[in-house]
């Protein structure tokens, strides 16, 4: 049996969603990094270990897969407070960015440090082994970039050293992958729609339908065409159109019009999706609406997304339903519904449960990698039994 721990990680453009083990651990980390120095200043250093590690991820990352090896970063919540914070840029390829790998390694290292008893540890160094399920946009998979991405991860040991991080300061985690599976994001969304954690069919109404999965991310949009229970690779399409540029435009206009600096796109998303006082900010202590800004910019983006849907549906005229998924769909949901009601009236659906939509990819990767792990270990057990039978 493999001692590797299962990791299912969706490195989204907005945030990382990660599930581990037997669903005994999950992590949500904003996808923001900032270059830093080794001894970052901390107020109240003696209280450091009372804080949540997720609020103070400060690491050095060593991996031959990185273009900038051995660099030091603030990650997630800590990075959003930095003047030099970086988020993934529109037009970039997820599989070719150091930031994708840094977020992936950081999330695994946090899990390994929390569950260090599962691994070999000596002199503050944890040797952690994982079986990883993750994904890339359809466009990148169609271009064959998943092959190089997978081999980068599989071929080396990757080390994360926690520097001034609550609870884990001084701990090093050596990450080795027993196996890596890279799934196309659109197919993963379909798996999550129709199957449970054991890959039993739970949505029989959908299983043989012709479906579009319209996945709106931060930097890209994937429209998967599902036919006969498979993604039609020829008709599935990926586009360099996500919500990030629109979020940046909103952030910039709020700054120029109201003089309010928002730390990151994450802050803009919060303004757009919070339960109370949605589309409002505080300006000099006064509650102020930014509805005029958000409505104009997001409606423009929704129109572009709707044109993509219309074009793909026209080429797949026997489609029965389109599901909008991903964090971008939550932001654009009301605008897309209004456009659809006023225009073509396609059969479209959204996930009203915000968490389900945002965690859809991570859940799908978990289902797929767990199934792979079960089958692999069953095969190993069978071989061991055969060997024992031959010896006896």
Q: Are 13 and 125 in contact (CB under 8 A)?
A: no
Residue 198, domain member (yes or no): no
Are 172 and 315 in the same domain? no
Residue 1 banded pLDDT, cuts 50, 70, 90 = very low
CATH number at residue 39: 3.30.420.40
Residue 133, domain member (yes or no): yes
The pLDDT of residue 70:
95
Q: Lowest-confidence range among 264-268, 343-347, 375-379?
A: 375-379
Are 223 and 330 in the same domain? yes
Q: Is the pLDDT of residue 266 over 90?
A: no
Residue 188, domain member (yes or no): no
What is the pLDDT averaged over residues 271-289? 89
Quote the mean pLDDT of the chain. Answer: 88
Residue 349, domain member (yes or no): yes
Residue 339, domain member (yes or no): yes
Are 310 and 261 in the same domain? yes
The pLDDT of residue 380:
64
Are 15 and 146 in the same domain? yes
- The count of domains in the chain is 2
Are 259 and 220 in the same domain? yes
Q: Lowest-confidence range among 70-79, 111-120, 211-220?
A: 211-220
Are 111 and 179 in the same domain? yes
Are 95 and 68 in the same domain? yes
Are 94 and 167 in the same domain? yes
CA–CA separation, 345 vs 128, rounded Å?
A: 51
Q: Lowest-confidence range among 175-179, 197-201, 301-305?
A: 197-201
Are 123 and 251 in the same domain? no
Are 285 and 154 in the same domain? no
pTM listed for this prediction: 0.85
Residue 266, domain member (yes or no): yes
Residue 247, domain member (yes or no): yes
Q: Give 83 or 187, the one with higher predicted confidence.
A: 83
Residue 392 banded pLDDT, cuts 50, 70, 90 = low
Are 56 and 166 in the same domain? yes
CA–CA separation, 223 vs 139, rounded Å?
A: 10
Domain interval for residue 247? 208-358
Rounded to an integer, what is the distance from CA 223 to the centroid of its chain? 17
Are 352 and 374 in the same domain? no
């Amino acid at each position: 049996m493999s001692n590797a721990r299962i990791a299912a990680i969706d490195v989204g453009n907005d945030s990382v969603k990660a599930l581990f083990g037997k669903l005994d651990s999950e992590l949500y980390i904003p996808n923001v990094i900032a270059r830093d120095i080794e001894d970052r200043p901390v107020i109240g250093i003696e209280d450091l270990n009372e804080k949540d590690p997720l609020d103070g991820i400060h690491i050095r990352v060593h991996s031959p897969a990185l273009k900038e090896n051995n660099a030091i970063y603030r990650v997630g919540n800590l990075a959003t407070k930095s003047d030099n914070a970086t988020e993934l840029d529109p037009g970039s390829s997820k599989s070719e960015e150091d930031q994708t790998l840094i977020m992936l390694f950081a999330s695994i290292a946090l899990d390994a440090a929390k569950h260090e008893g599962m691994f070999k540890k000596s002199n503050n160094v944890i040797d952690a082994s994982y079986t990883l399920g993750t994904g890339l946009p359809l466009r990148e998979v169609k271009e064959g970039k998943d092959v190089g991405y997978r081999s980068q991860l599989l071929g080396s040991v990757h080390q994360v050293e926690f520097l001034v991080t609550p609870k884990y300061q001084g701990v090093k985690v050596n990450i080795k992958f027993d196996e890596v599976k890279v799934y196309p994001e659109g197919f993963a969304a379909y798996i999550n729609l129709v199957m449970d954690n054991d890959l039993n069919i739970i949505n029989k109404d959908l299983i043989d339908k012709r479906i579009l999965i319209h996945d709106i991310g931060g930097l890209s949009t994937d429209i998967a065409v599902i036919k006969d229970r498979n993604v039609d690779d020829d008709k599935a399409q990926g586009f360099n159109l996500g919500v990030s540029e629109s979020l940046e435009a909103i952030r910039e206009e709020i700054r120029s019009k109201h003089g309010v600096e928002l730390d990151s796109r994450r802050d803009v998303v919060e303004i757009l999706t919070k339960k109370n006082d949605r589309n409002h900010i505080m300006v000099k202590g006064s509650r102020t609406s930014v509805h005029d800004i958000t409505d104009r910019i997001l409606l423009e983006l929704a129109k572009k997304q709707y044109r993509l849907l219309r074009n793909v549906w026209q080429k797949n005229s026997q489609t029965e339903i389109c599901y909008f998924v991903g964090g971008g769909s939550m932001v654009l949901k009301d605008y897309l519904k209004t456009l659809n009601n006023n225009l073509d009236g396609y059969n479209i659906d959204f996930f009203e449960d915000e968490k389900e939509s945002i965690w859809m990819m991570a859940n799908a990767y978990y289902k797929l990698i767990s199934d792979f792990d079960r089958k692999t270990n069953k095969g190993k057990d069978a071989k061991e039994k055969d060997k024992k039978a031959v010896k006896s």
